Amino acid sequence: MSVYFYGCVTLDGYLAARDHTLDWLHQTGAAAETGYEDFYSRMDVTLMGRRTFRELEKLEDPASAYPTTENYVFTHRPLEQRGFLAVCQSPESLVEALGPEKNIWVVGGNTILAPLLERDLVDHLIIQIAPVLLGDGIPLFTQTEALRRFRLEAVRKCGPFAELVCGRP
């Protein structure tokens, strides 16, 4: 099993605008310019918070975004969307319960990522950096994470994005 964070941030480290929208990302480039398809083909599970899921709900068919993975949404409210399961346990307990044979993608949400980092459950960080400054927004890292070291494995140019691929030492 490996736990991955795969996502895009702005130059100033924001995952989303203050209102949780991703307009800045959609206006910068497309997933087709990155290694997204190859990455997604290796995943078994996605994990996301309710706010990230709300962005998916804007799509005509949200289930088509992640058709081949088990998709978990951390929320205290029931979900009626086909293809997604609501969970209200901690991210770290779900990751541990999913078992060692799964590749798990933390899709979005620093409230999901931070506790996994704290418990040393994140094996890979694949971060694309967009040439955008938001000035304010939702940061990828909460600044409460303790020191964690990763090994830089690759740096790539993907269309307008710079991609950093890091793994555990």
- Give the pLDDT confidence score for residue 59 in this predicted structure: 82
N- to C-terminal Cα separation, the chain: 16
Residue 148 domain flag:
no
Overall average pLDDT of the 50-64 stretch: 86
Is position 166 within any domain?
no
109-149: per-residue pLDDT in tens? Answer: 788 999 999 999 999 999 999 999 999 999 998 867 778 89
Residue 96 placed within a domain: yes
Q: What whole-number distance in Å separates Cα of residue 116 and Cα of residue 90? A: 9
- Does any domain span residue 73? yes
> Out of 16-20, 70-74, 85-89, which region has the weakest mean confidence (pLDDT)?
16-20
CATH number for the domain that contains residue 46: 3.40.430.10
And the tokens for 44? 């078994």
Biggest alpha carbon–alpha carbon distance for the chain: 41
- Per the structure, the complete domain to which residue 137 belongs is given by 3-7+9-13+17-142
pLDDT of 1 strictly over 80: no
When pLDDT is averaged across residues 87-113 and rounded to a whole number, the result is 92
Work out how many domains the chain is built from and give that number.
Answer: 1
pLDDT digits (tens, 9 = 90+) for 62-74: 889 999 999 999 9
16 touches 22 (CB < 8 A): yes
